[in-house]
Each structure stands twice: as C-alpha cells, then as structure tokens.
Amino acid sequence: MKRNILITGGAGFIGSHVVRLFVNKYPDYHIVNLDKLTYAGNLANLKEIEDRPNYTFVRADIVDFEVMRRIMDEHEIDGIIHLAAESHVDRSIKDPFTFARTNVMGTLSLLQAAKEYWETLPEKYEGKRFYHISTDEVYGALELTNPKGIESPFTTAASSEHHHAYGTVFFLETTKYNPHSPYSASKASSDHFVRAYHDTYGMPTIVTNCSNNYGPYQFPEKLIPLFINNIRHRKPLPVYGKGENVRDWLYVEDHARAIDLIFHKGIIAETYNIGGFNEWKNIDIIKVIIKTVDRLLGNPEGYSDELITYVTDRLGHDMRYAIDSRKLQRELGWEPSLQFEEGIERTVRWYLDHQDWMDNITSGDYERYYEDMYKNR
C-alpha cells in the first residue's frame, strides 16, 4: 500500500534509525523526514539513504504551525511518527523554556496541523495514525530497594547473564505520571496533549514510552558515546554522585523495530511500554565501556580506570527506571533481540570505526558546551 509518512526528528539519534529502517523496508512508502537540525540533528546520519526516490528531507521547526499545516497538505501525509524533541535532561535543567517550546508547543502544533488536514479529507481519520514517541522518565523514579541486585523476574531471548533487577517495582502502562525534571515534565505534557486529541477529537493516536537507548549515531553528550569519546582522548569520565543510579538499556535498532511494529499493528489510543529488561547501575555500565574500549584499542586491562571522576550529582537525579514491557511482548510479539554485551561491543566498535563522525560533531561549540556542563563541578 502506498503511504506518505512524516517522521519528525529523523536527523537525530533514534529518528535516523527509524528513517533508515522505513526507507529501506518500505520502497512503496514516501518518507518525509522533518527536522530543524538543532545541535542534535545531523544529516550525516542518513548519508546511506539520502538519494533514495522514496525519501524527502524538509528542514523546519515543528513549533511553526503554518509550515506543519502546509507540509501535511503538500505531501498528503497519512501517518506521523513524532520523535522531534529536546532530549537531554542536563540541558533541560539549564534551559527549561526551550524544552516547553519544542516538546509541548511543537507537539501541539503538529497535532493541530494533522487534525485540520485530516478533517478536510472525505475519509477523515480512517487509515490515519499519529504515533508519539515518549520516554519512561514521565513515570518518575523508582527506589533502589535491592542495591546489590536480585534475579530479574523477566527473561527474554536477549537476556544477558548480568540480568539483575534493583527493585521489585516496574513501570507499567498504567503507572501514574510523576515527572521530576523539566525534560520529563515537558514530555509528560506532550503525552497528555496527544491523548487529549484522541479523547476530544477522535484522533487516531498511539503513545509509546521507551527506556534508555544506546547504539550508533547518538550525540556524545549522552553517557555511552560521551564516555567512549573521552576514553579515546584520555579525558576524565564524569560520574554523577556515586554512580548508583539505575537505567534500563535498549539497543536503538530494537526500539526502531518496535516502532515499525507498533506503527503498523498497534491499537489506536493504546500506550505501549518499550524496554530492554536490562537494568544497569551507571558505574557498572561505565566499567563495561572502559573494559571494551581498552580491549579494542589494545590497551592493557584497567588502563583507563583512572579516568573515572566522581562529580556533584545531577539536580533531582531519578534513582531507578525499570520498564515492564510485557504488554508489547504479549500483544504484538516484540522482544529485544540483542544481548547487552553484544550491543555494547557493536556500539563501541561503531564509534571507534567512525571517528570522523565523532570528530565533526565534537569540534566547535561542543567543547564549550562540554566545559560548561561537566567541568569544575
């Protein structure tokens, strides 16, 4: 079936994986990638598909309602996968307004543009889809009730030996929203608007809340690429607090596969949690990264351990996130495919093999940003 799909934020980390997957997998679809190209957007992420006949790139700001409305018309959009957002918690603490602008007003502008366009069509919402990508951070923080880790109650084909849980409570789709950072508050607000457009106007919406992603093409302000890059340059590795905070990690291509499945098979108005069943303390993940980078660079074991530098904790730092994504497993048959150890090995190799990509984005403004954010804390 021919479809015209608008993917927002497609030049960012997760978005570029979703765009690549859709352009390659669905030659009959026309994929319109709309991105403002903020510091986080990088067209080099999409070199491989930029000349494909089923792909168009549009540089625009989702907050600009008139432009969104025109693009809906011009490309006869019948499906939207909305990833464009400001996505870094540390930046949201410094500049919450930008987060409210893009994440809240931008999502609202996109919803209204889709509503107005789809309502002009004879079939209206029939066959349409507005799929909003959100985060597990909207649920708030879980406690670290088992600091040493207990056997996880969940296993998948991709479960690793590590496979611990650091508490007995997990986020469900029904968990009450309780965001703590300006980032998660702005994402929570956008999720509410999306659901309100379904409940009020009958818009065919879906929301998914995913845990931390890792993999190629992630901007090196986020933990895993930041640390790989710093080890390479023998720079300090800034660890917040004691490094005890726990996150649930998912390989980005597994998230993209889930998005593909949910976009096509998900039930309208439903929410699906997406997670890796893969909890790690930050300090443990850092040790795995150091070990892997040192091994791949031919350094002696333990060579980069001395780079670990404990810094003042992030304000309001959530202790633990852990997703229960069994609904998605049960109802649509999705599972993470990659074991964490394999995913990390692949990720480290990718960054070490793509040093030009890293050097390009870490030149210029990045250095100033880095100093401001992590040094002298």
Give the binding site for ligand NAD (CB under 6 A).
8-9, 11-15, 35-38, 40-41, 61-63, 83-87, 102, 106, 133, 135, 187, 210, 212-213, 219
CA distance 144 to 246: 8
Task: Using the minimum distance from each CB to ligand NAD, give the nearer residue, 15 or 238.
Answer: 15
User: Residue 81 is encoded by which pair of tokens?
Assistant: 């996968």
Residue 305 catalytic?
no
Closest CB 305 distance from ligand NAD, rounded Å: 26
Residue of 35, 61, 78, 137 with catalytic role: 137
| C-alpha to C-alpha distances, 220 to 9, 27, 369, nearest whole angstrom | 17, 32, 11
Residue of 136, 221, 253, 254 with catalytic role: 136
Task: Using the minimum distance from each CB to ligand NAD, give the nearer residue, 40 or 165.
Answer: 40
Q: Helix, strand, or coil here: 110?
A: helix
Please name the amino acid found at residue 208. T
33 strand-pairing partners: 7, 57
Closest CB 12 distance from ligand NAD, rounded Å: 2
| C-alpha to C-alpha distances, 291 to 231, 285, 295, 306, nearest whole angstrom | 10, 10, 6, 12
Angle at the Cα of 338 from the Cα atoms of 358 and 304, rounded to 5 degrees: 45
Residue 117 catalytic?
no
Distance between first and last Cα of the chain: 54
Angle at the Cα of 76 from the Cα atoms of 71 and 82, rounded to 5 degrees: 60
Q: Which helix (H) or strand (E) holds 91?
A: helix 89-94
Closest CB 208 distance from ligand NAD, rounded Å: 8
Cβ neighbours, 10 Å, residue 225:
25
* Parallel, antiparallel or unpaired: strands 150-151 and 164-165: antiparallel
CA distance 206 to 200: 14
Closest CB 295 distance from ligand NAD, rounded Å: 25
Closest CB 126 distance from ligand NAD, rounded Å: 27
Closest CB 242 distance from ligand NAD, rounded Å: 22
Q: Residue with the closest Cβ to ligand NAD?
A: 12
Task: Using the minimum distance from each CB to ligand NAD, give the nearer residue, 13 or 29.
Answer: 13
CA distance 224 to 251: 12
On whether the CB atoms of residues 87 and 212 are closer than 8 A, the answer is no
Residue 183 catalytic?
yes
Beta-sheet strand order (sheet of 29-35):
55-59, 29-35, 3-8, 79-82, 129-135, 205-210, 271-274
Closest CB 122 distance from ligand NAD, rounded Å: 30
Task: Using the minimum distance from each CB to ligand NAD, give the nearer residue, 125 or 253.
Answer: 253
Task: Using the minimum distance from each CB to ligand NAD, give the nearer residue, 15 or 336.
Answer: 15
Task: Using the minimum distance from each CB to ligand NAD, give the nearer residue, 114 or 304.
Answer: 114
Beta strand ranges found along 265-368 (DSSP E): 271-274, 279-281, 308-311
Residue of 183, 217, 251, 272 with catalytic role: 183
Task: Using the minimum distance from each CB to ligand NAD, give the nearer residue, 78 or 221.
Answer: 221
- Annotated catalytic residues are 136-137, 183
